Each structure stands twice: as structure tokens, then as C-alpha cells.
Structure 1
């Protein structure tokens, strides 16, 4: 065997080592992909019921929120009607202002008399 035969054996054995290294890397990458696939399937299987529970919870919470929204809308309508009625009553009714003024005056006189009685005692 000459120098060319020895070089051929060395080249063939180095190609064998390279082929083994590449096949080892491919096998490792294949295992990694299989493991990632199994992990992804497990995560998907666990999150599907969780998403369904969240959907159910959100649906259950939305019901009371919608009724609360209707209640607040009704309260807003009522307070608006009371405001309009009060402002209309006070704007158009001069006697109402006179009666209110008389009531306030009577209340102030009553306070003044009770203070004088307390001072006298």
C-alpha cells in the first residue's frame, strides 16, 4: 500500500467520523423536536380547558354587569327627570319660591328664639 492508499483510508475514515457526527446531530435534533412537540401538545391540552373556564367566567360576570348597567342607566334617567322637574318648578313657579323663602325665614326665627331662651336660663 502506497501513500495514496493511506491517504484514501485517512480520507474515508474522516468522512466516516463526519457522517457519524452529522447523524448524531440529526438524531439529537429529531429527539429535541419530538420532545418540543410533546410539550406543546401537553400545554395545548392543559390550556384548552382553562380557556373554556375563563370564557365561562367572563360570561357569568357579564350578566350582572349588564343588569348593573341597566340599573345605572335607569338611575341616571330618574335623576335627570327630577332635575328637570325641579328646575321647571322653580323657574315657572313664583309662589313656590315665596313659600320656600317663608319656610326658611320661619326656621331662622325658630333658631333665634331657642338661642334667646337658652341665654335667659
Structure 2
């Protein structure tokens, strides 16, 4: 066995070590991919019911919100009618409003006088 034979044995041993290292990495990578696949399946299986529950919750919340929307619409209509009635009354009965304002100011002055006398 000459120097070429020894070099061949060393090279083949080196290639065998490299092949074992590559095989180990490929096996570990395969296991990692299997674990990732299992984790993804678990996440997918748990997410679907969660999305259904969120949909149900949103549907249940929208029902009362529609009722609140109707109530606020009715309150808005009522306040519009009161505003229209008040505006119509003030525009038709300007003198009556002035008299009412005078009576209110007189009543408040009388209250303030009676408070000062009590002190």
C-alpha cells in the first residue's frame, strides 16, 4: 500500500464523516418539519372554533346595538319635535315669551332678596 492508497482511505473516511453529518442534519430537519406541521395543525384546529365563537359574540352584541340605535333615533325625533314646537311657539308668541322671561327674572330676584333677608 502506497501513499496513494493511504490518501484514498483518509479521503473516504472524511467523506463518510461528512455523509453522516449531512444525514444527521437531514434527520433533525425532518423532525423539525414534522413538529412544525403538527403545531400548525393544532393551531388551525383551535382557531376555527374560536372564529365561530367570535362571530357568535359579534352577532349577539349587534342585536342590542340595533335596539339602542332605535331608541336613540326615537329620542332624536322627539327632541326635533320639541325643538320645532318651541321655535313655532316663540316665533308666534314673541310677546308671551318676553312676559314669561320677565316673570322668571322677577321670581329669581325675589328669591335672592328673601335669601339676603334670612341672612
**What TM-score do you get using the length of structure 2 for normalisation?**
0.82
Deviations 1:40-74 (A, max 9, x none): 11111112111111110011001111111121122
Aligned match of 1:86:
86
Aligned match of 1:14:
14
> Residue 10 and residue 109 in structure 1: after superposition, are their counterparts in 2 closer, same or farther (change >3 A)?
closer
Note the C-alpha offset of 1:94: 3.3
**What TM-score do you get using the length of structure 1 for normalisation?**
0.81
Structure 1 spans left out of the alignment, 5+ residues: none
Equivalences for 1:27-46 in 2 at 5 Å? 27-46=27-46
Structure 2 spans left out of the alignment, 5+ residues: none
Equivalences for 1:1-121 in 2 at 5 Å? 1-94=1-94, 96-97=96-97, 100-101=100-101, 103-104=103-104, 107=107, 115=114
Count of residue pairs brought into register by the alignment:
116
RMSD: 2.4
Deviations 1:82-114 (A, max 9, x none): 1121012111213532652575378469759xx
